[in-house]
Amino acid sequence: MTDLAELFPGFDTHWVDTGAGRVFARSSGSGPALALLHGFPQTMAMWHRIAPQLARKFTVVLIDLRGYGWSSAPESDNGAGYAKRVMGEDVVAVMEALGHIRFHVVGHDRGARVGYRLALDHPGRVTRLGLLDVLPTAEVWKNIRAGLSPAAHWAGLSRPAPTPEKEIAANPNAYFEGLMAKWTNAQSLAPFDPRALAHYRAGWGDPSRVHAMCEDYRAGATIDLAADEADLAAGKKIVCPTLTITGDFYLTRGAGEAPVDVWKRTFAPGATGVMVPNGHFVAEESPAETLDALLAFL
C-alpha cells in the first residue's frame, strides 16, 4: 500500500497502540477536536474532499477503524472483535493519545454506528455528533425483517464464516465496487476520486480485512443489535447535539419516515436533519453541501 496517493498533505501521522493492535490516524488543524470515522467498505480516504477545509477551524483527527485501511485487523469470531462498543474504545484511545478528552464525532455508515454507540456509552466525551446517511442498527434490522428494506449485504456479510469471505475472494473488486456503484445516485463509480478508489481496493484486497468487514456485519446482526435494543428498552438517549445528513437516494428509498424523525423517535430526540441531493456517499458525492452542513452544525 506504499504506492498509494497522498490525499492529506500536511496532515501528521500517528500509530496508537491498543489492546487489539495498532490504530492508524492522521491529524491537522487547530481548535475543537473533531474525530472523523469512515464507513464500509472504505478508509479515512473518504474524507479527502472535506477534511482539509474542516481543519481550518477544528483539530481534525482521521481514524482508520480496526480492520480497515492501515489499522490492525484483530482476530475475531462471531463479531466479538468488531462490536461498535469496542471500536468506540479505539476512538477514545486515539483521541486520548492525541490529548483530547472531549471531542466532536462525525461518522459515515459504519463509522456513524461507532459514533452513536460511543455517544451512548460515553456521554461525557462526545460534544457534538454528526451521523452521515445512517439509521440505528436496531431500526435497520426491524425494516429488513418487515420487508421494508432489502437485506442484501447486511444478511449476506453476517452469515457464519467463512462463507461470505470465500464468495468475496473470488473477485473482491467486483463485489465491493458493485455495491459502491449501486449506492450512488449516478449508479456508477464516477463520483469517486480514482486515487481514493485505489486506497479502498488496497484494503479489500487483503483477505484479513475482508474477514474483518464480515465480522463488522456479524457484530451488527448480534452484539450491536442487542446493545441497541437494550438501550431502547431502557430509554437511553444521546445527550449531545446531533445532526443527521442523508442523501435523497439511497437511505430513504422506499422508507416512509424521514431519517431524522427515526433518530428523534429512538436515540436522539433533539436531532436536526439535512438532506443533500445525492446518494449514500454524501462526503464524496456532495462534498460542498456536506461541508456547509457540518460547519453550520459544529
How confident is the model over 88-134, as pLDDT tens digits? 999 999 999 999 999 999 999 999 999 999 999 999 999 999 999 99
For the chain, give the mean pLDDT.
Answer: 95
Mean pLDDT, residues 71-83 taken together: 98
Q: What is the pTM of this model?
A: 0.97
What span, in angstroms and rounded, lies between the C-alpha atoms of 247 and 215? 26
Whether 253 shows a pLDDT value over 70: the answer reads no
CB-side neighbour CA atoms (13 Å) of 34: 27
- Does pLDDT of 161 surpass 70? yes
What average pLDDT score do residues 8-22 get? 96
Question: 12-297, which class in CATH?
Answer: alpha beta
The domain segmentation of the chain, as residue ranges, is: 12-297
CB 273 within 8 A of CB 260: yes
- The pLDDT tens digits for 168-181 are 999 999 999 999 99
Which of 48, 100, 108, 280 does the annotation list as catalytic? 280
**Would you call 122 a catalytic residue per the annotation?**
no
| Residue 109 known to be catalytic | yes
Spell out the residues 6+ positions from residue 15 whose beta carbon is closer than 8 angstroms to its own. 22, 23, 24, 25
How would you classify the pairing of strands 272-276 and 103-108?
Answer: unpaired
Q: Which one of 109, 133, 216, 224 is the catalytic residue? A: 109
